[in-house]
């Protein structure tokens, strides 16, 4: 193969519930870069490129991961859910997104997409079902991989509690 497609791959993923394919993806780029540049999903942010800040957190096969650490080719055929995929039907904010808005847990917004995914994972895997699980220490420990340079985290912690309440209300 010659030309611009030489050495590239065709990447097919299930992204936010839809099977999508991107052509001519360099196999060595990160999943984060592939999503932003080839799938037009700019929600996850590129900050440290070392898995230290959490701004690129998304779900890969149902587990939260730092997408900057996953090679695009490793995601072939897998299921990805980005912050864009956490919105409710019709683009209405999902439970965690709504909680962040209501609590003012967003300042510059750079860390917000990764934090929203991390909080979603926390409240959906059990943290949202029992208030005793949601003390400050547990919340801080669970979100330790997501750095925010603008806040003191208090509004984020408040948003976790509000999101947990919303998840309890939507879970039968």
Domain that holds residue 27: 3-85
Say what the pLDDT of residue 31 is: 98
- Residue ending a domain, among 17, 52, 85, is 85
Give the other-Cβ count within 10 Å of 76's Cβ. 14
Collapsing DSSP to helix, strand or coil, 81 comes out as strand
Q: Are residues 26 and 38 in the same domain?
A: yes
The secondary structure of 94-112 as a DSSP string is -HHHHHHHHHT--SS-SSH
pLDDT of residue 85: 94
Q: Among residues 39, 54, 85, which one ends one of the domains?
A: 85
Q: What local confidence, expressed as pLDDT, does residue 134 receive? A: 78
Q: Does residue 47 sit in the same domain as residue 101?
A: no
Same domain, 80 and 122: no
Check if the beta carbon of residue 63 is closer than 8 Å to that of residue 45: no
pLDDT of residue 7: 86
Report the alpha-carbon distance of residue 8 to residue 127 in Å, rounded.
Answer: 41
Per-residue pLDDT, 5? 65
Under DSSP, the state recorded for 97 is: H
Total domain count for the chain?
2
DSSP state of 125: I
- Nearest 5°: the CA angle 73, 41, 50 is 55
Phi/psi for 18 (5° steps) reads -115, 135
Along the chain (172 residues), what's the average pLDDT of each consecutive run of 10 residues?
Answer: 67 97 94 97 92 95 97 96 90 92 91 95 73 77 90 91 90 70
Instruction: Give the CATH number for residue 45.
Output: 3.10.20.30
Residues 145 and 122 sit within 8 Å (Cβ to Cβ): no
81 plus 7 within the same structural domain:
yes
Q: What is the pLDDT of residue 2?
A: 41
Tell me the CA end-to-end span of the chain in Å, nearest whole number.
54
């Amino acid at each position: 193969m010659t030309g611009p497609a030489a050495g590239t791959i065709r990447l097919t993923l299930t992204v936010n519930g839809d099977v999508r394919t991107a052509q001519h993806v360099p196999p060595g780029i990160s999943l984060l870069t592939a999503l932003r540049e080839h799938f037009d999903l700019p929600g996850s942010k590129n900050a440290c490129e070392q898995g230290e800040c959490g701004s690129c957190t998304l779900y890969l096969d149902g587990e939260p991961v730092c997408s900057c650490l996953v090679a695009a080719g490793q995601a072939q055929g897998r299921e990805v859910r980005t912050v864009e995929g956490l919105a409710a039907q019709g683009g209405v904010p999902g439970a965690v997104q709504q909680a962040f808005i209501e609590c003012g847990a967003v300042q510059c917004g750079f860390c917000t997409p990764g934090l929203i995914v991390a909080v979603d994972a926390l409240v959906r895997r059990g943290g949202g079902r029992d208030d005793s699980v949601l003390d400050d220490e547990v919340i801080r420990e669970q979100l330790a991989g997501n750095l925010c340079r603008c806040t003191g985290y208090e509004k984020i912690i408040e948003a976790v509690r509000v999101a947990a309440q919303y998840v309890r209300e939507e879970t039968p």
